[in-house]
Amino acid sequence: MKKTAIIYSFNTKKTAKIAERIKEAFNDDQVEMVNAEDITEEKFLAYDQIIMGVSTWFDGELPNHWDEFVPALEEMDLKGKKIALFGLGDQVGYPENFLDGLGIMAEVLEAQGAELVGFTPVEGYTFERSRARRGDEFLGLAIDYENQGSMNKERVAAWVDQLRKSFN
């Protein structure tokens, strides 16, 4: 497999748990775990394939560590990069902006030429609106730890199987 990173904040417990499950499912020593809070432009561009953990904070915002990196992303040429996103949100507590952080990041990455992979169906979720939705799919893996935590293992396994095909 090409040089692959899972980039997420090591300080976010739920996102970290999902990132660890993703790495375990890949079962590949070539997949590196990278702290989003320490990411630089040079390090980001060093990977051929990137998996990004992007939770949604407050009323549909990016976490600070990603929000602060967006200006750097907006200066990058991401053509040729395959990027998969996984996002955490609360569809019951925040149904009007479920997974908006994932959607915001997807917009930034696509504008810079990245190829997004790993879309998942919206079926099985109940929410009003989401910037992460495109048609009948989310622009990545949708995780609702609070309300559907029992589905995480199965969803991650299916998503990683999909990414293996997309990344090769």
Report the 10 Å Cβ neighbour count for 117.
Answer: 18
| Pairing of the two strands 115-117 and 120-121 | unpaired
- Separation of alpha carbons 161 and 152, rounded Å: 14
Confidence at residue 29, expressed as pLDDT on a 0 to 100 scale: 79
pLDDT more than 90, % of the chain: 93
Residues 6+ away with beta carbon under 8 Å from 33: 5, 6, 8, 10, 19, 20, 23
pTM of full prediction above 0.85: yes
DSSP state of 150: G
Confidence at residue 1, expressed as pLDDT on a 0 to 100 scale: 62
Q: Which domain holds residue 90?
A: 4-167
Burial of 35 from C-beta contacts in 10 A (0-12 / 13-18 / 19+) = middle
Q: Which CATH number fits the domain that encloses residue 82?
A: 3.40.50.360
3-state class of 111 per DSSP?
A: helix
Could you report the per-residue pLDDT of 32-54, keeping only the tens digit for each?
999 999 999 999 999 999 999 99
Could you report the per-residue pLDDT of 121-159, keeping only the tens digit for each?
999 999 999 999 999 999 999 999 999 999 999 999 999
| pLDDT tops 70 at residue 100 | yes
Q: Structural domain tally of the chain?
A: 1
Confidence at residue 22, expressed as pLDDT on a 0 to 100 scale: 97
Q: Give the pLDDT band (50/70/90) at residue 112.
A: very high
3-state class of 98 per DSSP?
A: coil
